[in-house]
C-alpha cells in the first residue's frame, strides 16, 4: 500500500494544526464520553477509551477535562447524549468513503454529511455499501531510525498481522485484539513510536489520478471540518508527487 503511511503522516500533522485551533478538543471529548458510555470508565478494560485518552493527552488536554468526559460517559455528569453513527458513500472516481460521527442530532449530521458528498462530486450510500471494503485494525507508525529487525520480531511475537517498510518508515498492522499488546511490547523495548491508533483500514487501495485526488481531498477536508465528524476513511491511493506537494 504505497503512500498509505505518508497520507497518515499528513493527516497526523493536520491533526496537530487542528489542535492548535482547539477544534480537535471537542471531537476528543465526544469520543472519550461515548467510549466510556459503551465500555465503562476503566481504561485497562476498555481499549477504545484507552486509545481516546491517549489521543487527548497527546493533544495536551488537561487530565481534569478527560476525567470529566469519562464521568459524563458513565453517567456521573449531566450532558447531551451523544450517539455514534457511521455513514458510507462514494467520493469522486467512485472511491469508497467511511465517515464516523458522534452527534446529539442525527438529522443535522446526515444533512451536513450528505451536503459535503454532493458538493464534491460524491454521493451518500446505504449501510453496508462500502464498509465491507474496510477492516477494523490497529496501526502503529514507528519513528525514523528504529531497527527494522527488532520491530518486526517484537511486533510479530506480540500478535501483529503485518509489518511493512517503505522509504525507512516502519508500519505495524495488528488485529484489534492485539493492538495494545503489540504497542506495549514496542514501548517496553524503548522504541520510539510516531503515532498509533485504531482505524478502519482499506483492504484494497485504488490509485486515483491527481485531478480526482484533489476533488477527493476537498471532500475529506470538508467532512473532517464538520463538528460531528470524528474520522474519515477512504480506499484512495495517491500519487507520490501529490503526497510530496502536501508534505
Please say if the pLDDT value at position 2 is more than 50.
Answer: no
Kindly report, residue by residue over 148-162, the tens digit of the pLDDT.
999 999 999 999 999
Q: Please give the Cα distance from 1 to 226 (Å, whole number).
A: 28
| Grid cell in block for residue 223 | 467532512
Overall average pLDDT of the 184-210 stretch: 91
Q: DSSP states of 125-187 as a string?
A: --TTSSGGGEEEEEEEEEPTT--HHHHHHHHHHHT-SEEEEETTEEEEEEEGGGHHHHHHHHH
Q: Averaging pLDDT over each range in 105-114, 144-153, 159-168, which range is the top one?
A: 105-114
Mean pLDDT computed over every residue of the chain: 87
pLDDT at 59: 87
- The answer to whether the beta carbons of residues 149 and 113 sit under 8 Å apart is no
Domains in the chain, ordered, with CATH? Answer: 4-74 (1.10.10.200), 83-132+205-246 (3.30.70.980), 133-202 (3.30.70.980)
Closest CA to 214 of 121, 125, 129: 121
Q: Distance of alpha carbon 210 from its chain centroid, rounded?
A: 23
Which is higher by pLDDT, 53 or 23? 53
Please report which confidence band the pLDDT of residue 1 belongs to, taking 50, 70 and 90 as the band edges. very low
pLDDT at 122: 96
Amino acid at each position: 500500500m504505497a503512500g498509505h503511511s505518508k497520507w497518515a503522516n499528513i493527516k497526523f500533522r493536520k491533526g496537530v494544526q487542528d489542535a492548535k485551533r482547539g477544534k480537535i478538543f471537542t471531537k476528543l471529548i465526544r469520543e472519550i464520553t461515548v467510549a466510556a458510555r459503551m465500555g465503562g470508565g476503566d481504561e485497562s478494560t476498555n481499549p477504545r477509551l484507552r486509545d481516546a485518552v491517549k489521543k487527548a493527552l497527546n493533544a495536551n488536554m488537561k487530565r481534569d477535562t478527560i476525567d470529566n468526559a469519562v464521568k459524563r460517559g458513565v453517567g456521573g455528569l449531566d450532558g447531551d447524549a451523544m450517539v455514534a453513527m457511521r455513514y458510507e458513500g462514494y467520493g469522486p472516481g467512485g472511491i469508497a468513503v467511511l465517515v464516523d460521527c458522534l452527534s446529539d442530532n442525527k438529522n443535522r449530521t446526515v444533512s451536513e454529511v450528505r451536503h459535503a458528498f454532493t458538493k464534491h462530486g460524491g454521493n451518500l450510500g446505504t449501510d453496508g455499501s462500502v464498509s465491507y471494503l474496510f477492516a477494523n485494525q490497529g496501526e502503529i507508525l514507528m519513528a525514523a531510525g528504529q531497527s527494522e529487525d527488532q520491530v518486526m520480531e517484537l511486533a510479530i511475537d506480540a500478535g501483529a498481522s503485518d509489518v511493512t517498510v517503505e522509504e525507512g518508515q516502519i508500519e505495524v498492522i495488528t488485529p484489534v485484539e492485539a493492538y495494545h499488546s503489540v504497542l506495549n511490547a514496542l514501548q517496553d523495548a524503548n522504541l520510539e513510536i510516531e503515532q498509533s491508533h485504531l482505524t478502519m483500514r482499506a483492504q484494497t487501495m485504488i490509485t486515483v489520478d491527481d485531478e480526482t485526488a484533489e476533488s477527493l481531498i476537498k471532500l475529506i477536508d470538508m467532512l473532517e471540518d464538520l463538528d460531528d465528524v470524528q474520522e474519515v476513511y477512504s480506499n484512495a491511493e495517491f500519487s507520490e508527487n501529490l503526497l510530496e506537494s502536501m508534505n
